[in-house]
Amino acid sequence: MKIVVLGTGMMGEPMARLFLKAGHRVMVLPHRRQEPVLRLLAEGAERIEDLRAAGSEADVVFSMLPNLPQIDEVLFEQGLAASMRAGALFLNMSTVSPHGIKRTAERLQERGIDVLDAPVSGGPKKAADGTLAVMAGGDREVYDRYLPLLQVVGGRVFHTGPVGSGQIVKLCNNFLAAMIMAANAEALTIGVKAGVDGRLMREIIQVSTGGNRLLEDWIPNTILKDSYEPGFALKLMLKDIQLAVQLAEETGTPVFLGGAAHQVYRMVANRDGDARESDFSVVSICYQEAAGVRIAGEV
């Protein structure tokens, strides 16, 4: 298939590469960061020179743009949607507002364009090896037709219901991950402050009742190295937390723990611009600085 790729960041680039390896024709929209685009071009992708012309050729428009304003700008203000043919697919795989993506889908469906809204979880490593969890919302017939394409990037693919339902699952997942990361940081900081080695404590907790996925494969490369290169940027996690809190408000659901986590992440994000660009595990810094310790030890 001919796939137009919007968004070649830490997730979009490896996913576009998998589409290439699967034999699809991939057309890449130039991005403010040229390096990912140049790498994909060197591997066989094509540069989009005329967005409308590319849209008229596309079987699929795939988006990993960060949020709905960017998506709607490309689709409706820059004219991509107007050039797409009826029966083509718009495939959104980034995390956005459930209500917002439903409105976008309605506008596209009025033009006869199919829509799958399929956010993913797993981070850049799973994006690179095609083992992401995919939460796909949309018409069942459309989902079944494009399931092989979703399986190119997804190790586990779930049909969650109508457009927007996958976003609800994804927001709940990320909301929980945010709380778990903060809880990990809080517990590890207590132990280190009390005199136990952070790596030893992490190893013991991971085989005990407090074990969790982030403690297993995220924290060893971030907090335990005192390194916060983004696997998932704090600014993106904060966006997802805010969307989850908004969803809770709309549904009348209390968020006692999540509300506290929201304030912690917001505090860290407001400290300086660098924190917003760092991995979301940088939330641990507020605990470590308050306690006067480093979980990774002296650095």
Task: Report pLDDT digits (tens) over 12-52.
Answer: 999 999 999 999 999 998 877 889 999 999 999 999 999 99
| 2-161: CATH topology | Rossmann fold (3.40.50)
CATH architecture of the region 168-291: Orthogonal Bundle (1.10)
Catalytic positions, please? 170
27: amino acid identity, one letter:
M
Rounded CA separation 231/221 (Å): 10
The residue extents of the domains of the chain are 2-161, 168-291
Greatest CA separation for the chain:
64
Mean pLDDT for 213-235 is 95
Across the range 269-289, mean pLDDT stands at 92
Query: Percent of the chain at pLDDT above 90?
Result: 95
For the entire predicted model, the pTM comes to: 0.93
